Amino acid sequence: MEKLKRHKIGLFSAIMLALNSLIGSGWLFGSGSAAKIAGPAAILSWILGAVIIIAIALTYVELGSMFPESGGMSRYAQYSHGPLLGFIAAWANWISLVTLVPMEAVAAVQYMSSWPWSWANWTKNFIKNGDITFEGIGVVFIFMLIFTMINFWSVKIMTHFTNLISVFKI
């Protein structure tokens, strides 16, 4: 029987994975929408949001050091409020993870449709009046397949790809 190789994630890749999960695609579009609605006051909402997220993150860091085991998102709810809430939290976490790949694929298509370069004019057909076109849905599906296969094939490929995307986002 062939032994499976384990790929260790380096410090840089671990940091990029964490940053990529924190810097989601929504904030890139959210800042424009917030500025349209609230104008300069949108900066205050970003500051308030940062304070709230930092408080939540520090809470999870503390819980993670107190209970170093997998499944923290559901286990912490189970420890504090019982098995029913732990079950609900586990399902909510699973649903959020299942929807992550389609959301990233849609965001990638939205990014592509806004490229200003002349060689990328073909990408403008993916979005019409703020909605994804039939052609855009096909590209979203292709991206979903690519993202899924990158994650399925190898941790090494996934970390290299995530490093590239994280640097692009930053």
What backbone torsions phi and psi does residue 83 show, to the nearest 5 degrees? -70, -30
In this predicted structure, the answer to whether residue 51 has a pLDDT above a threshold of 90 is yes
Residue 148 placed within a domain: yes
Q: Cβ distance 93 to 73 under 8 Å?
A: yes
Residues above pLDDT 90, as percent of the chain: 12
Mention every residue, 6+ apart, whose C-beta is less than 8 A from residue 64: 72
Residue 131 in any domain: the answer is: yes
Residue 84 lies in a domain: no
Q: Which two structure tokens, joined as six digits, stand for 64?
A: 């993670």
Domain residue limits at 144:
99-155
Cα–Cα distance measured from residue 83 to residue 77, given in angstroms and rounded to the nearest whole number: 8
DSSP conformation letters of 34-58: HHHHHGGGHHHHHHHHHHHHHHHHH
pLDDT at 25: 67
Place of tokens 């039939």: 134
Domain assignment present for residue 112? The answer is yes
The predicted pLDDT at position 141 comes to 93
Mean pLDDT computed over every residue of the chain: 82
Answer yes or no: is 43 within a domain.
no
Which tokens go with 168?
A: 């692009």
Q: What is the pLDDT of residue 110?
A: 82
Q: Is the pLDDT of residue 99 over 80?
A: yes
Domain count for the chain: 1
Question: Is this model's pTM higher than 0.75 or not?
Answer: no
CA distance 130 to 125: 11
Residue 27's pLDDT is 67
